[in-house]
Structure formats: structure tokens, C-alpha cells
Amino acid sequence: MSNEISKLRNVALIAPAGAGKTSLAEAMLFTAKATQKLGSVDKGNSVLDYEPEEARRHMTISTAFHPYNWGECEVTLIDTPGDDNFLSDTIIALQGADGAILVIDAVEGVKFQTEKILGYAFKNNLPCIGFVSKIDKEHASFEDVISDLTNTLDIKVVPICLPIGEGEDFSGIINLLSMETFLYQKDGSGKFKKGPIPEEYQAKAGEYREKMVEFLAETDDGLLERYLEGGEIKDEEWQVALRNGVLSRQFLPVLCGSGILNMGIQPLLDFINQCLPSPIDRGPVIGYEPGTDKEVKRKPSPDEPFSALVIKTISDPFAGRITVFRAFSGQLSSDSTILNANKGHKEKVGQLFVLAGKTQRLLERVVAGQIAAVAKLKDTSTGDTLCDEKYPIMYKSAEPLPPVISFAIEPKSKGDEEKLFASLVKLAEEDPALRLQRNPQTKELLLSGTGQLHIENTIEKLKRKYNVEVDLKAPKIPYKETIKGKAKAQGKYKKQTGGRGQYGDAWIEIEPLPRGGGFEFVDKIVGGVIPKNYIPAVEKGIKGAMEEGILAGYPIVDVKVTLFDGSYHPVDSSDMAFQIAGSMAFKKAFMEAKPILLEPIMKLVITVPEELMGDVIGDINSRRGKVLGFEAKGKYQIIAALVPMAEVLSYASDLTSITGGRGSFTMEFSHYEEVPGGLAEKVIEESKEEKGQ
């Protein structure tokens, strides 16, 4: 059975949006006879981009899986998103892959996202192949792409083939290993004829082959010595050197072709079989004993205890939750019981199947190395480890990208609040990059994501899948109030209405605490001027006033209150009277202690091409931001800055506009700072208008 596992390949297709990745995948599936027709992203009949939102936008939004057989190998293609809004799905899905194909647009060349996405693959130690797509497009240039890759990537780039012609003249490829040509029909059939290299390409092919074998020779000292001495080296030896170099990630071999015209696909399929790793090549996987840091290894063998990592969850209103997992060890049969190591709960496994786009193919069992799925697990989500309950293990899962944009969300129909929340919870199960939380200060339900398009897509799915329509608006800024000075004040509450009255009298002093200091209450009452049993009531009244806010209705923070004097009435005093007295005293003292408004400050880390750095820094300054510093990373600059939250609510779309989509950023809360005077007055005025004061 280990021989069976050695023939498995799990291959992720990775690329920035628009590079031709899904078109290439469709051509691979059609060529391998896994599909009956050549699917098209542009025509909306792709078997991989099958969600309505994907068909409408002509882009991959959610990772799709599809198996095919080629030669002796059983390959699972993992078609991942490339747009920045949906890269969390890519990062998580890559944990199920053993190798990757980096697709580069022959016209657009290497983008910032190309390098970033390849970095995710390298972080997972995935051996990679490069494939230059769209060679048939006007202005395509294979040599420009190779030059771009060589100058950009921290890995040697080795062309394995050359295109014959480019643009409309593209007619086939030259295989530099076998030094033969593949001349294709341009009807999408993938049919080709092999032949010798045309005379006009012989010099160029010889030059590229010479460079290729130099790289290959460097993978093995013995091979290098024979090569330098001019000894004979067989093609089979170059093939072994190529495989070893790919597996050890010494270089990125690059092929080329056209997915839309189905040209150059057969050599790619052969190359995957020959040079990308099987689960056995990848070796043991390291996990941990649940609840400890003790490492546990699992070999990719059917004889090991079963273990798997959940790499995707699909929420279907009709079929329920579908859990996609990558098995790392052992084997699993339908109708068995396993342990969810993260939750500590057992799960009953029903019918196992593999996903082929949106269709399913039933399985009797899953073995180590396979990617499979199961429906209706009760308590399992993306990132969880499933394992043999007798041999528990837990794998560390990749974290989704942090959210960079938030909206307050509410249903258009007032009665749909519960339905909205329940539906969003299901979508968040499917998409771990979504964040759903209620702001305790503003009471708003906030939906956060990795970009404007991410949120828009979620709203579309919410309507399509769960029939819930919503309104989005900018979230309220959670301002806070505090003081800069000291003040003393008396709060005296006296009420006589016949019968028992109300009496409470408290003197307090307030002073500021350091930022983040919260609230401190000090009891300095002596001589029993306020009985001990009423002092908690004074504190409660002060806390109530702090929660409501005084300056503009925002919570008050970082204040020390000292209760130092007061009086009481033996009959009329009560807890309520002293609560009111405490609140009155605090409100008076607060307004005399130089009250100020605080605003949340966010830390942004922005990555942009060097030539756009000035524009981005200028924009940060215009937002009352403060640049902390920057560092160069290749052709890019990484800028760290502090900017008020009020100025960056729409920064995701603003940065896209400034950089033409070539910039990216992360954002997290840093601290609170005083709002400048003029702006504070405006915020206070708006708050009073909203409250109808």
C-alpha cells in the first residue's frame, strides 16, 4: 500500500488573480480526461470556479479540489484564490498540498502578489514548478518573465522549455530535456506532433539547455565533476538531478504554454508525475500531544494511527457542513468514529468522498496522503485535527490573514436579527478570515474581513444561500473620555416628599491615571461620616456615570477617584441616595478636571513598490498619521505607521486606488491618544446631535 501512496500527488495551483491559473487547471483536467470538455472561466462554465459569485467575477474566490489520473499517478489539483481579499483560503489550503505550480502571466509578468504567494508555498516547504501562461496573448514575452523571476525571487530559476513563437505566432514548445518540439493544434483539443527543433531555434535552444544542465549539475558533486570534465551524462541522469533539485527546492523549473488554447499541458502533467513529491517523499509530519508541547511524528503510512488536518469547510444550506481534510497518516473507513483533538470530542464519520469541483465521488476508505471529505460532522471546523482516539495528535494550523476592514451590519428586515447572526456564523465556519463580533461599547454587530471585495462577496452569499439582505455602514468609532487635571466636587442628593426622604452626600477628588490605567477607587472616609455600608453605593454611582460618559457620551477611562468626606441621615439615607450622590459628584468634578476625548490609534504595516512609497507616506500624513519607519525588501518598501482609526475605515480600498492594487497592509489596534481640540469639538457636537441634545 505504501507503493500506492508513492503514486499520489497533491498539487496546489498558486498565482495572483488573473494570471490564468484556473484556465490552466481546466486544461489539465481536460487533457487528463477528468472532464469531458474544456471549461472556461470567461464563459462561466469552469468546473472549478463553480460558485455564482466566481462565475460573475471571473475569478477564484474559494479553493476547489479535483482529482485526475495521469500515467501511474493519482493527482489532486488544489485550485486556490489569488486575489488579496481571499488569500486566507490559499494559506490554509496549502497545508494539504505536497507541491505547487506557480502560474505567471506572460504579459503582466511578476507582480508583488506573485512573490507573496510563492512565499506562502515556501513557508510550507513545498517544492514548486513555474508555468508561464498566456503565451498566446499579444505582448507575451517568455524571456521577460524569466528575467523578472530571476531578479525578483530568492531561488534559482531554470527554464525547462521554450515557446515556439509568442502571441498569435505561438505554435508549440521546445522541451530542453529531450531537445524535441511539441507542435499543437490551436483548436483547444491539445493534439500535438513531436518533431525536431526548427533550425531558427537551434542556437537559442542550445544556449538555454547549456544553462539548464549547469544548474542541474550543481545538484550533485559527482555529476558536476563529470560535467566539468566533459564526461558523458545520460538524459536519465539529468532527469534524476532535476527531480532532486526540485524536491530540495534548490531551483524553480519553469515551463510554458496556454491554458485557454490547451497548449503545453502534456509536458506539465508529465513533469508533475516525475518531479513533484508524493506524500512519502515529503516524509513524516510533526504534530503535538494535545495539551502539551511534546512533539509526535506520523509517517505517511497506512500502518500508522490515523491523523488528518481539516483544510476547508463548505457550508451548504441543504447538504449541511462539508469537511475537507488531508490525511497525513493511517487510514479511515466510512462509518467509523474519530477524535477531534482540538475540541476533545468524538465525531461519527459517515460516507467518505472526494470533491471533483462541485460534484462528489464516493470512497470506501481514505489512506495517508489523500485529500477527502465527509459531511455533517457536528463540532469540527477548519484547522482542527482529526485522529485515532487511542493515539491523539494535534497539528498546528495556519492562521488566516488579519482583517483590515470592518462594517456595522444590520438586517433590512427588523425581524431578521437572529437569522442574520446564525447565517453569518455559518459563513464564518466556511471562511475563517471573516470576523463577527459585537462591539460592547457601540453595541453594533461588526463584520470584518480582508478587503472590500471580501465583505461584498460575503453579503452576496448571505443573500443567495440564506435569503438575508443587509445594510452596511461605517462602524462607529469607539472614542473614550478621560481627564488631564485634578478636581474636587460635592454630590449632595436631598429629597423630601412626605414620609421617608432621600439623603446622600459625598465629596470626591478625581485625578488622571496613566493611559491604560482603567479605574481606581480609594476610600479615605474617617470618623464614619459615611457609614461603610454606603461606600460601595458611591462607587457604583461613579462607575455608572463613567459608563454613560459625560463629555460626549463615551465611556470614561484612566481615572482615580478618592472619596474623602460626606454626610448621611440616620433615617433618610439609602444605597440609592448615595449612588446618585456619587454620580453627581463625579459629573461635576469631571467637567472641572480638563476633560478630553481619546481616539483609537491603529498600527499599519504597509508593503508597496518602492516608486510608490512617497505617495503612500504623503497619504498617511494627510490622515494625521505618523510614520514609524520603513525597510526595503527587494523592490518593495515596508512602511510602519500609526494612524487614527477614524482616518482608515476605508483604507483597504484607498490603498488599492493609490497603488493600482500593488500594495497590501495589515492593521491592528495600538493604543488610545487625545483627539486634537478642533476635531474633538466636532465629535462632541455630532454625538449631542445624534442623542437629540
pLDDT the model gives residue 661 = 80
Please state the rounded mean pLDDT for residues 373-384.
94
Neighbouring-strand partners of residue 129:
101
pLDDT the model gives residue 441 = 86
pLDDT the model gives residue 123 = 93
Dump the DSSP string for 43-74.
TT--SSS-SHHHHHHTS--S-EEEEEEETTEE
- Which is it for the CA torsion 637, 641, 647, 650, positive or negative? positive
Sketch out the chain's domains with CATH numbers: 2-282 (3.40.50.300), 285-387 (2.40.30.10), 405-473 (3.30.70.870), 480-593 (3.30.230.10), 599-688 (3.30.70.240)
Which long-range CB contacts under 8 A does 430-435 form with residues at least 24 apart? 430/62, 430/313, 430/314, 430/315, 431/62, 431/88, 431/89, 431/458, 432/88, 432/92, 432/381, 432/382, 432/383, 432/400, 433/86, 433/88, 433/89, 433/400, 433/401, 433/403, 434/403, 434/458, 435/403, 435/406
Strands 331-333 and 320-329: unpaired
Strands 519-523 and 559-567: parallel
Rounded CA separation 19/140 (Å)? 12
689: pLDDT confidence band, cut at 50, 70 and 90?
A: confident
- Which is it for the CA torsion 193, 196, 202, 206, positive or negative? positive
Residue 236: count other Cβ atoms within 10 Å of its Cβ.
8
pLDDT the model gives residue 1 = 47
| Cβ neighbours for 34, distance < 8 A, ≥ 6 positions apart | 66, 67, 68, 69, 356
Q: Which amino acid is at 83?
A: D
What digits encode the pLDDT tens for the residues 508-533?
999 999 998 999 999 999 999 999 99
Going from the C-alpha of 130 to that of each of 99, 149, 211, 228, 598, the distances in angstroms are 11, 10, 17, 28, 51
Higher-pLDDT residue of 238, 204: 204
Rounded CA separation 559/591 (Å)? 13
Q: Is 360 helix (H, G, I), strand (E, B) or coil?
A: strand
Please state the rounded mean pLDDT for residues 646-658.
91
pLDDT the model gives residue 28 = 97
Neighbouring-strand partners of residue 446:
408, 437
Rounded CA separation 423/341 (Å)? 26
693: pLDDT confidence band, cut at 50, 70 and 90?
A: low
What digits encode the pLDDT tens for the residues 562-621?
999 999 999 899 999 999 999 999 999 999 999 999 999 999 999 998 899 999 999 999
State the Rg of the chain over Cα.
32
- Buried b or exposed e, range 251-267, using 16+ CB within 10 angstroms: bbbbbbbbbbbbbbbbb
